Structure formats: C-alpha cells, structure tokens
Amino acid sequence: MPPKLRYVRMDMDDLAWEKSDREIEAWERSLNKSHIYRGIASLINKYRPGEAVELHKPIRGGYNIFYRLEYKDGSSAGMRIPCKGVKFPEEKIRYEVATVRYVAANTTIPVPKIYHFGTAAENPVGLGPFIIMDYVEHERTMSDALKDPALEPEESPVLDPTIDKGRLEFLYGQMANIILQLSTLEFPRIGSLDQDEHGDISVSGRPLIQNMNSLLEFTGVAPTVLPSRSYDTSNEWFCALADMHLAQLTFQHNDAIFDEDDARDKYVARQLFRRLASEGRLTLGLDAREKGANDSSFRLYSEDLRPSNVLIDKDDHVVGVIDWEFAYAAPAQFSFDPPWWLLLKSPEYWDGGYKSWMEECEPRLETFLRVLEIEEKKKQGHHEITENTVISSSLEDDVPLSQRMRNSWEKRTWMINYAARNSWAFDFIFWRFLDMDYFGDNEGGDHHARLNLLTHQEIEAMEPFIKMKMEETKKRSLVEWNHDDAVVQLAKVLV
C-alpha cells in the first residue's frame, strides 16, 4: 500500500480565516477618512520634512500597509503600519527596525532608510505602531520580472518556464549576493534583533516567526504559550518549533483532521518529531561547520526573503529589499538550505506536489548555485585585496555556501528545517520523507507502524486527545483559549 496521498498541506481553519478577512476589510474601510489621511501626511512630514504634494493610495502587503507621501522635489517617504490581525505589532516593529538598521550598517544590501518608529501610543492618528521610512523608487518587484507573463493578475506567481537564461542568471545572481551577505552575519544566540536606548543592536528578543503569527490567527491559541525567550542552541529551538506543531493540532478547532485515523497520524507524527528534536537527532547529520561553530554562532535568516520583497529598476538592478519583520538570528543550517522561492511558488502549493516541485526546481537550483559560486569568488577576491577586513567564518572556512546548499538538497536536510518552521506543511513532509529516513520502512506510510515507538505516557494521552478532536468536528465554531486553560490542555499532549 503506497503512502497516503491525502497529505498535501494541512488545511487552515476556514472560520478563523474568514473572520480575519472580515476584520481586515472592515479595518481598511475605516481608514478611508480625510482626517486620517491628513494625519498620516502630517506624521510622515514631521519626521521627514519637505514640501509635500501628494499622499498616494496605500500599498497593501501581507502584513503591512504603506502610505507614500510624495514631495515637490520628486522624492518620497512613507509610513508603514502592521495590518489589522497582525500579532505582536509593537514587538514586530521594534525587531524589524533593528534588523534593517543592522543590515544597512553591516552589508551592501539596499534597504530603506528609517527616520523614526513609534508605538501605538505615539501615533496621533490611532493606527498603531509605525515606521517612517524612505520610499524606494523602483520599476517593479523581482517577482514580477521572473513570473510567467501568461498568468492572470489574480493567479499566484510562478517562474516563467521560458525565461531567458542570461536574464535568469542576472536576477538569481543578485539574490545570491543578498543571501551570501546575510549568511556572514553571526550572532551568539537564536532570537530577534532589538535596539536599546543607546543605539546598540543585539539578539535580545525572542525569535518572532511567521508560524507564531499564523498560530494566533488560525488556531486561537493563547499567545502566552508561544516561545517567549531567546535560545542558546539549535536543539532548544527545534524543541520549541516541535512544541508549536503540537499546539497547532491541539488548538485548531476546525479543519484540523479528516477522521480518527488522520488525527492519529497527525498526533503520532508530531510526537515523534518532538522526540527527534529533544534527542538532538534533527541536527545529528550535520557536521560541526554546518551547525555553525559548535552551535554557538547563528546567522541572520529572513523567512520572508523572496523576489516579491525585492525591488528592481527598469534595468533589473536591485534597488531595495523590504519586509524584514520575520528575520532573526537562526540556526546556521537554515541559511545553508536552498531557497524555497526559486520557482516563486512554495512546494506545498505546487500543482503536482513536492515530487513535481523538486523535479522542476532542480535545474533552477543548478543555475542558482552556479551564480552563487560566482558571487563567492567575488567576495573572496574582495577579501584578498581589502586590508583589515572582518569576515565571518562562512567565508573563511573551506565549505562555501554553494556547497552547503548542494549538500542540503542532496541529503534533503532542507526538508527537516522546512517542516520544523511550517506547522501546516509538516504532515506531508514527515510521512513521505522524514519518517522512513529516521525510523525505517513503513509500508502503510502512516501511524500504524509507529505506535510501538511512542512512550506509555504518549499512548495514554492519545485516545482522549483523539476523542477531543472528533468532538470538535461536530460543531464548527471559533474558540479563543485563555492562558490557564491553554497551559492545562497543552500539558496533556506535551508528555
């Protein structure tokens, strides 16, 4: 019997999604008032003075809205605010500002200049925390330059299959340069960058990641049960990521399971993944260099770095990289994985699934690795001719980033990291790829062959858990968990 084909991507809670969409739409309508526009223009002009001539129509992104104020001299600045529904908005703003300033000071990656940022209490127009920054003049995003022109505007972008080879290499090469520079930025622990009152930037915030925002938006989990500190080792962070997978399954009320069998599959997969994390086996196959200096140095990794957040001019040159809110000092192996965006669409959304995605991605990865090697040679040459250059170990050692990425692809270690970061993409990757790699043959491709691996406590906790999930399927509703109840409920499965 082949592995179950129903594992593609775990559904998100449709009721929670619809509720979020309604709230965002109502919030956006509430912004269409003249006094709000005047207040926005005044606030931008306060921190970036000039003779203003026009406040443009706001630009809506996945997590933010950007208001652009144009000046008489042709320049522009803007105010960026988190959208309604974005979780931890003030924390997100702080971390993003610190990251942008750190990247600006330590790389040649073009990022917007930040004039000021403030809390919700400091925003006179009542739109929450904000950043006042330059508007980067650009022709379009790199995603627009790479995508298939035959697609309709409302369709998700996919790489143009007939794109000119030279043009692809030029665009990929610029992305390779950005990734290479980020991979050289090392930190002593895992977490988000923050800036103190003296202007010093350090890893003093918890790692705020996209998955945490999604858990709050689509499961109703109490925010207080999510990670609340920085981490000293990769193993600790993998354990926290594994716990979040169990939290997602525990607290998502709707669309989490198909039936009892599916619920057991998902429960067992998460318990085994959590076991692998706690035993340090998710990093066991990596050598010391891939772990990053005995797991005591970590690299700046941006979860949302992709072509749609890279701005280019009419000649396809990169002029700006935006949206750094989910960048943090992460396990070095995350930086060593091949980019997931080479085809523009992620594997869990790819028509035909992961196998088809990997087949299409492999030749594009070869192109990317080729141009990355060119960028590495440029960096090495620059290092050789520049005196007093401080350069990170990723460029000093004999394992270049391009080789690390090739190893990650060939050994499929990228799947471990991808599954760890994405709760809703977890199940398919685990049962189709990770399960047999770690635990041996599994003819059914599901939980039946793995029950003997669970502890007595995990087995005892399973049936009450399955009963709870089946009861939830009888009534579609939204449940908001408070801290005390969430801690008690989660403790039942984190045995």
pLDDT for residue 8 = 55
Name the residue among 328, 337, 331, 238 with its Cα closest to residue 292.
331
Do residue 309 and residue 438 come from a single domain?
A: no
Backbone angles phi, psi at 280, to 5 degrees: 75, 15
Do residue 445 and residue 390 come from a single domain?
A: no
pLDDT for residue 396 = 43
Mean pLDDT in runs of 10 for the chain (495 residues)?
Answer: 52 91 91 94 97 95 94 97 93 97 98 97 94 97 97 93 97 98 96 96 97 93 95 96 97 94 97 96 62 67 97 98 96 96 94 92 98 94 48 56 96 95 94 95 94 96 96 93 94 92
Backbone angles phi, psi at 314, to 5 degrees: -65, -20
pLDDT for residue 295 = 62
End-to-end C-alpha distance for the chain, whole angstroms: 32
- Domain interval for residue 480: 1-16+194-296+422-495
* Inside any domain, residue 444: yes
Give the separation between CA 190 and CA 123, rounded to whole angstroms. 31
Burial class (CB in 10 A: 0-12, 13-18, 19+), 89: buried
User: How many domains, the chain?
Assistant: 3
Give the separation between CA 454 and CA 119, rounded to whole angstroms. 47
Do residue 212 and residue 153 come from a single domain?
A: no
* Inside any domain, residue 152: yes
Are the beta carbons of 228 and 208 closer than 8 angstroms? no
Do residue 302 and residue 405 come from a single domain?
A: yes
pTM of the full predicted structure?
A: 0.92
SS3 helix, strand, coil % of the chain, rounded to 5? 50, 15, 35
What CATH number did the domain enclosing 62 receive?
A: 3.30.200.20
Give the separation between CA 388 and CA 386, rounded to whole angstroms. 7
Do residue 230 and residue 91 come from a single domain?
A: no
* Inside any domain, residue 100: yes
Do residue 494 and residue 483 come from a single domain?
A: yes
Do residue 431 and residue 450 come from a single domain?
A: yes
